[in-house]
Structure 1
Amino acid sequence: MVTELTDQTFDEKTNNGVTFTDFWATWCGPCRMQSPVIEQLAEEMGDKVFFSKVDVDANQETAAKFGIMSIPTMLIKKDGQVVDTIVGYHTKEQLQKKLEAYI
């Protein structure tokens, strides 16, 4: 349900519709807490939103392009434009409310 993206695939996969991308790293505790919340949200929201994640250690170019300084940072894009940036752990309800504003 959550697609792993790379520097090479990020732009192509997040240019249409509403997309949600989680910037994370394996060593990040809050990222590991956020991940199951995002997985559950992806299952519930289905095709309304494209859910993805980017490992900042392996894909530094994309992280730098969006000025990712802390993780987890989540970007919501609509038709290729960033419409919201969310930093830190958030509940499923908080994330869902933000996403529904763009659907």
Structure 2
Amino acid sequence: MSVSLKDFHADWCGPCKTQDPILDELKEEYGDRFDLVKVNVDEEQDVANEYQVRSLPTLIIENDDGIVERFVGVTQRDDIEAALEEAGA
């Protein structure tokens, strides 16, 4: 099963910069167990619209069955990890 974490962000978003180190740590530890997809909403508005992203940062964790979890705002590592595990990462 493939698992992805989509990180919807923008260069001007302060909280997004707070979220980045947490995501980088998780990616380093989990390796290939999930794909980290960074979506700059200023450059990829169509993708943001498709996922109905209204606030930043927004994290969406999905697997082959669809969206498992959606987080809006800076999200703690434990919450992200739990959702990744639930998704099968």
TM-score normalised per structure 1: 0.80
Tell whether 2:42 aligns with 1:54.
Answer: no
1:94 corresponds to = 79
* Aligned Cα root-mean-square deviation (Å): 1.2
User: Using the alignment, how far apart are the partners of 1:22 and 1:80 within structure 2?
Assistant: 19
Separation (CA, whole Å) in 1 of partners of 2:71 and 2:77: 13
Paired letter, 2:53: I
Q: Which amino acid aligns with 2:60?
A: L
Tell me the distance in 1 between the aligned counterparts of 2:24 and 2:44. Answer: 21
Q: Is the 8 A contact 1:17 1:79 kept in 2?
A: yes
Tell me the TM-score normalized by structure 2.
Answer: 0.92
Measured after TM superposition, the shift of residue 83 of structure 1 is 1.9
How many percent identity over aligned positions? 36
Aligned match of 2:16: 31
- The separation in 1 between residues aligned to 2:41 and 2:57, in whole angstroms, is 10
Deviating above 4 A after TM superposition, structure 1's stretches of 4 or more consecutive aligned residues are none
In the TM superposition, what is the alpha-carbon distance from 1:80 to its structure 2 partner? 6.2
Q: Which runs of 5+ in 2 are unaligned?
A: none
The whole-number CA distance in structure 1 between the counterparts of 2:65 and 2:47 is 14
Unaligned runs of 5+ in 1: 1-15
Measure, in 2, the Cα distance between the counterparts of 1:51 and 1:88. 17
Q: Is 2:60 the counterpart of 1:79?
A: no
Aligned residues: 88
State the Cα deviation string for residues 45-99 of structure 1 (Å, max 9, x = none).
1111111110000000000111100010011111162221111101222211111
CA shift, 1:41, in A, is 0.5
Which letter maps to 1:35?
Answer: D
Is 1:66 aligned to residue 51 of structure 2?
Answer: yes
